[in-house]
Amino acid sequence: MQRFTLDDVDQTVRALRATGISSAEVHAVVADVLEDVRGRGDAALRDTTSRFDGVELAAPLAVPGETLRRNLEDASPNVVDALTKAAANVREYHVREAPRPWRAQLAQGQTVGQEIMPLAVAGLYVPGGLADYPSSVLMTAIPAQVAGVGSIVVCSPPRKDGSVPPGVAAACALLGIDTVFPVGGAQAVAAMAYGTESVPRCDVIVGPGNAYVTEAKRQVMGQVAIDGLAGPSEVMIVADADAQAEWLAADALAQAEHGAGAMGAVLSLSSSLSDTLEGEIKRLSERLGIGIDNVTIVDCPALEAAMELVNAFGPEHLELHVADPRAVLEQVRCAGAVFLGSHAATAFADYAAGTNHVLPTGGSARFSQGLSVDAFVRRVGVVEIGAQSARALAPLVATIAREEGLLAHALSAELRGGISSELGDGISCALRDLGSGAARE
């Protein structure tokens, strides 16, 4: 655990920020895996999974639908009830935030608007292996379903027996997803990006993962859409003198619990709170068996200084344990998700509050946002122009087109606008001259 006083904001950001840049070794390993899967398909998936995970994949590769349903039937009723209620909250949130079609009539009488068109196939990467993250199934699949995606593909690392974790399988069955593959790492990203004999090629790949998964998403970006490049989890907590030290310690440790690179920082506005908090972090760390190397207390001279640090850092999760969190929210410019008040722990949104837990990390909250329905749709512009609006628009278009030297654009608009044939003939002559000149060249 570290503790220091905020002096220089930039230096403090550098001290807190874990690097999100993949090493040259990771880059090279991932590039080889991608090329192998692209060339050899399922055979490469099997070989790579055997080499990296020590697992021999079954044939056929996909998890049978009855296996998914059996995991749901075998799950604890309490777990199923919790997942069902969490799914309802997540679904309602994403239904509300989903983009919608619209139309409007502009000054010249033309009607413009947008249609929202879902992608055909979405690939979801759900972390797994030794761990079991049914919550990540909910967070990635539900916005895709709300978007109306035609087909959903799930890849999750296999356990030693070649199966996907039971919670992941149960969550897939709960949501009606039946295309699930026990494949993880860069090879899973490659399979969803390029397609194999078994794994369908996807239009978008979303979901959190380790350094190899993140690097693989970086390398296939452009051939397939991705949601972002998520790194280690992080929380930044702004706390005043009245904050509950034990609650702050638990929240910081909840991020440290994610493992390598995860970061929890408390920006304390009270030195007495910092003193108490140090003891609470150590006590809970010993009780829970969680390392605190990446837990930091930053003593801040004032709220304004703390918020300057918040906006420079751009945390994935931002908790505001202050007297008037709604007022402080107005000062937030960069954060993946903001939690208002001492009761609003990040853990609630990780599972069941309703918002998405796939969020920008590593400072990318400066320019990106959490996973949403937007990741699974295309906004398509729609234009409807009648004769009257064409007459009104044509002179504007022709003027700008001529300024740019694009005479066919001008002609195209003027023909619709019914502008005199003299002008049209003049443009036609100019076009012929241009064509003759191009031919001579």
Q: What's the rounded Cα separation, in Å, for the pair 283 and 227?
A: 38
pLDDT of 231 reads 78
From-to residues of CATH 3.40.50.1980 in the chain = 2-17+231-351, 24-99+114-227
The 3-state DSSP class for residue 367 equals: coil
In 3D space, the residue among 94, 96, 217 whose CA is nearest the CA of residue 145 turns out to be: 94
For domain 24-99+114-227, the CATH architecture is 3-Layer(aba) Sandwich (3.40)
Which runs of E-coded beta strand occur in 176-232?
Answer: 180-181, 204-206, 225-226
Start-to-end CA span in the chain (Å): 72
**Distance between CA atoms of residues 135 and 170, nearest Å:** 11
- For residues 73 and 372, what is the distance between their CA atoms, to the nearest angstrom? 30
Question: Are the CB atoms for 192 and 179 separated by under 8 Å?
Answer: no
Distances (CA, A) of 440 to 405, 432, 436: 19, 12, 6
Selection from 263, 265, 264, 268 nearest residue 239 by Cα: 268
**Residue in the structure block whose two tokens are 């859409």:** 225
Check: CATH 1.20.5 for 383-440?
Answer: yes
Q: Residue 60: is the preceding peptide bond cis (ω within 30°)? A: yes
Determine the Cα–Cα distance for residues 202 and 136; give it in Å rounded to an integer.
18
Active-site amino acid positions: 316-317
Write out the residue limits of the CATH 1.20.5 domain(s) in the chain: 383-440
Please report the pLDDT score of residue 128 as a whole number. 85
Backbone angles phi, psi at 238, to 5 degrees: -100, 120
**Do the Cβ atoms of 240 and 342 come closer than 8 Å?**
no
Number of H helices, E strands in the chain: 17, 14
Rounded CA-CA distance 21/90 in Å is 31
Q: What's the token pair of residue 196? A: 């194999």
- Which residues, including other chains, have CB under 8 Å from residue 64's CB and lie 6 or more apart? none
pLDDT given for residue 269 in this prediction:
98
Cα gap 29→174, rounded to integer Å:
36
Helical (H) or strand (E) element with 238: strand 234-239
Query: Which residues are 336's β-sheet partners?
Result: none
Q: Which residues contact 413 (CB under 8 A, 6 or more apart)?
A: 390, 393, 394, 397, 398, 401
Confidence (pLDDT) at 439: 44
Residue 203 CB neighbours (<10 A): 20
pTM for this model (two decimals): 0.90
> C-alpha distances in angstroms, 230 versus 10, 75, 181, 213, 326?
22, 30, 22, 9, 27
The correct CATH number of 2-17+231-351 out of 1.10.8.60, 3.40.50.1000, 3.40.50.1980, 3.40.50.300 is 3.40.50.1980
Neighbours of 39 (CB within 10 A): 10
Write the CA distances from 204 to 26, 151, 228, 413, integer angstroms.
Answer: 22, 11, 11, 37
The β-bridge partners of 4 are 298
Q: How far is CA 409 from the centre of its chain?
A: 39
Reduced to 3 states (helix: H, G, I; strand: E, B; else coil), residue 214 is helix
Cα(424)–Cα(414) distance, integer angstroms: 7
Report the C-alpha gap between 175 and 163 in whole angstroms. Answer: 19
Contacts 24+ apart (CB under 8 A), 275-280: 276/245, 277/245, 277/248, 277/249, 278/1, 278/3, 279/245, 280/245, 280/246, 280/248, 280/249
Each of the 441 residues of the chain gets a pLDDT tens digit; together they read 999 999 999 999 999 985 444 588 899 999 999 999 999 999 999 999 999 999 999 999 999 999 999 999 999 999 999 999 999 999 999 999 999 999 999 999 999 999 999 999 999 999 987 789 999 999 999 999 999 999 999 999 999 999 999 999 999 999 999 999 999 999 999 999 999 999 999 999 999 988 899 999 999 999 999 999 887 899 999 999 999 999 999 999 999 998 778 899 999 999 999 999 999 999 999 999 999 999 999 999 999 999 999 999 999 999 999 999 999 999 999 999 999 999 999 999 999 999 999 999 988 999 999 999 999 999 999 999 999 999 999 999 999 999 999 999 999 999 999 986 454 455 555 555 555 554 444
